[in-house]
Amino acid sequence: MPIIIQPAEPVHVLSITDLVNHFAAENVMLPRTEESVRQTIGDWLVAVDPDAGCSAPPILACGALVPLTDTLVELRSLAVHDSLHGKGLGGHMVLHLVQAARERGYHQICALTLRENFFVRLGFELIDRWSISPKVWQACIYCPKFHHCDEVAVMMNLVEAPHAALHPLARPAGWNALLKWSEWQPLKLAYKQKQ
């Protein structure tokens, strides 16, 4: 089956929403509304089968880039149709999203995931999730799993000299300059209180 990974178009909004919400119902990602997908359609990539008939899924996979800072973008809502799990399409989607992030001039790309080994095999590194920009937590606080989150943070540097270009709020674990106390402490305390 020929598969093309391409920028999403308005015609894909309902299919993206359905695919993402299928996995959100299984508590493996956050749900998305049609309106939120429509407003951010330029940030989405989809995988389609150009030869598919009416019986095939409208999209086979999707994923989005969500800007967190001028230099850091989050890979979010990566979903692959159940019929194609284990066939490598998820990895191709990630690599296309990484390339799109590079082309847009981002220095780093991060993700929160339940499958960290999948991302590590693609070149991401494990990081302390509290070291990611506070903007990522704006979505997390609405997640039903926020107070007992089991996701792992991963990050990839997209520039030649990553240490010179890193955003001070998005440095990998092991660096001394993590979030300022006032920025991460309320989130961490709220997280620990509900555990």
Q: Where are the domains of the chain?
A: 4-193
The rounded mean pLDDT for the chain is 79
For domain 4-193, give the CATH number. Answer: 3.40.630.30
What residues in the chain have per-residue pLDDT under 50?
55, 162, 164-195
CB burial string 75-84: b at 16+ within 10 A, e below: bbbbbbbeeb
Structure token pair of residue 187: 């989130």
Residue 129's pLDDT is what?
74
| Rounded CA separation 27/31 (Å) | 9
Residue 27's pLDDT is what?
81
